[in-house]
Amino acid sequence: QVQLVESGGGVVQPGRSLRLSCAASGFTFSSYDMHWVRQAPGMGLEWVTLIWYDGSNKDYADSVKGRFTISRDNSKSTVYLQMNSLRAEDTAVYYCARRGGSSSVVYFDNWGQGTLVTVSS
């Protein structure tokens, strides 16, 4: 079955960096676009970034543009989120999600369990 497992979260000081990983299994990873979505404590969901199946296209929410970088290694079935210049407002549970659908239909059909990032001095 499809499995997405995030790792790399933790407590980090403002201005520092952190890299999250999402290891995928149970499907042909190299055929799927992947996304990161975050959720601040007690708050709603916020889409963060996406990467196409082959890594050729990426996009970001304005709130993280220029600070976060998404990448993937299809040989390892893993997607990464490099987070630099972290701020208190980046504190959240970070989920990776698989894009379902085809053509213009987009939805997130499988999600990881999430990893908590806390930005605090």
Partner 1 sequence: DIQMTQSPSSLSASVGDRVSITCRASQSFSSYLNWYQQKPGKAPKLLIFAASSLQDGVPSRFTCSGSGTDFTLTISDLRPEDFATYYCQQTYSIPFTFGGGTKVEI
Name, in order, each residue with C-beta under 8 angstroms of 119's C-beta and a sequence gap of 6 or more.
Answer: 11, 12, 13, 14, 86, 87, 88, 89, 90, 91
Residue 26 lies near partner 1 (rule: CB under 8 A): no
Closer CB to partner 1, 11 or 106, in the complex:
106
Residue 120 lies near partner 1 (rule: CB under 8 A): no
- What distance in Å separates the CA atoms of residue 10 and residue 18, rounded to the nearest whole number? 8
One of 12, 18, 33, 35 touching partner 1 (CB under 8 A)? 35
**Residue 21 CA from chain centroid, whole number:** 8
Residues in contact with partner 1 by CB under 8 A are 35, 37, 44-47, 50, 59, 61-62, 95, 100-101, 104-109, 111-114
